[in-house]
Chains A and B, each alone.
Chain A
Amino acid sequence: MRLFKLLVPILISIILIVLDARFSYLDSFKRFTLTLLSPVYFVVDLPSHIVDWVNDQGTDKAQLVSENKYLEGKQIELKARLQTYNNLVLENQKLTQLLDATYTIPEHQIILAHVKSISQSRLKKQVIINKGSKNGVHNTQLVVGSDGVVGKVTQVTPLYSTVLLITDPTQHMPVKNVRNGIRGITKGLATNESGMIVEFIPLNSDVKLGDIFVTSGIGTTYPPGYLVGEVSKINKSPNEAFLTITLKPIQNMDKLEFILIVSQKND
């Protein structure tokens, strides 16, 4: 009888593992339970809320004015840069029309979110952000930082979302080389804190150290053109069909504070 009491939950656990790993039947149950458990996130994040509040109270007016002036200057600088970008977009549209091509630059919507100091599984590289389904976040959205791609949204509750980093071994993202358009798929490395490899690039391909890879937009899940990583190592093994390319993520994952959730406007 005691063995039976142990074997039944073990069997149910195994069934749950198989169902969760291979199918998505349990997603709504997980989302519902995580919503119930989200006060835990709030409690864990409470000290940082208090520190922020104390900092806000302690900031004097002169500091705020100076910070405001600096940010205004930065905004003007970025607007000036954006003008160049807008010109390029217009030029691209004209060229597209001339060439009668169907490709157009998509418009993207962004949501600003704050990375919370909450830990998750030790076998996965993921972070929690303070925006959820109430703010329009949904699964598989691309997440970028100030320098490059961070990862994608994998779980959403009304107030919080989970972002799986591109350096996680289960994360695959279609990318292309900016210099010559060679396409591959990134995969994170668990053994290296901030490492990725690019798979499926043939042996004789032209890839050099320092080449930049960006999202290719293939598969329509991720918008194209966002910086992913820089080539830090290339291994050519004659016994393998593909190159082993190691990428260093352009976004520093250890210093994430604010991130942007990107989606195409028709999402």
Chain B
Amino acid sequence: MTKNNPLLLLTKMTIIALIIGAISLPSILETISPFWMLIFFIYWIIYTDTKMVYLFAFILGLLTDILQGSILGQNALALLISSAFIFNVKKSFYVSNLTTQQVYIFIASLIYLIALISIHIAIQGFDFSWFIILSPFTSSIIWPLVRLLLAKLKH
């Protein structure tokens, strides 16, 4: 795990995640697209030594909410819960092979999705595109590429 400038890495990752998340895609692709902020943040949790995981998860979640026009706190809560899961399996995640890491990413994304949809149902009712349930799959599929990209960014 690196101790070099975790905050600088987080800043760079946040900017990239916000930009990638705002790139326009056809409607269905947009719905099934990976949870960029979550998978970038997971990388940061795993490969840096930091103790303020929940504070940063909260701030990044709020930034995502504001940029995406979501209900304030929706992504923040989802990111907090998923981060808590990843933080608990951090050591195991770090030493796992790529496939096992993808399984962890899938579970974290599923937690994220459940939190997002639960808040959506509580506030706006049971009305959303079912394609969204594919997002945890795309998040775990894209993980090797994200890991490679962020490893380059870290150095």
Contacts and interface: CB of A to CB of B under 8 A. Distances in A.
B63 A33 contact: yes
B30 A122 contact: yes
B69 A9 contact: no
B72 A169 contact: no
A16 B73 contact: yes
A81 interface: no
Interface in B115-155: 116, 119-120, 123-125, 127-130, 132, 135
B127 A191 contact: yes
Interface in B13-32: 15, 18-19, 21-25, 27, 30-31
Interface in A3-41: 5-6, 9-10, 12-17, 19-21, 26, 30, 33-34, 37, 40-41
Contacts of B120: 123
B114 interface: no
Contacts of B102: none
Given A41-B22, A44-B23, A119-B22, A9 B54 contact: yes
A246 interface: no
Contacts of A121: 68-70
Given A6-B54, A37-B18, A17 B77 contact: yes
B31 A122 contact: yes
Nearest to A125: B27
Contacts of A124: 68-70
B66 A34 contact: yes
A120 interface: yes
Given A33-B66, A169-B125, A119 B25 contact: yes
A198 B58 CA distance: 39
Interface residues of B, number: 45
8 contacts: A9-B55, A17-B123, A21-B123, A33-B66, A37-B66, A43-B19, A117-B23, A191-B128
Given A17-B71, A37-B18, A118-B24, 4 more contacts: A20-B71, A26-B72, A122-B33, A169-B127
A6 B66 CA distance: 22
Interface in A112-166: 117-124, 126, 154-155, 162
Name the residue in A12, A30, A123 with the highest tally of chain B Cβ atoms < 10 Å from its Cβ: A123
A68 interface: no
A206 B24 CA distance: 41
A51 to B, nearest CB: 13
A190 B128 contact: yes
Given A40-B19, A119-B22, A191-B130, A17 B69 contact: no
B73 A123 contact: no
A201 to B, nearest CB: 20
B76 interface: yes
Nearest to A37: B67
B108 to A, nearest CB: 15
Given A5-B54, A37-B63, A123 B116 contact: yes
Given A10-B77, A10-B80, A123 B67 contact: no
Contacts of B55: 5, 9
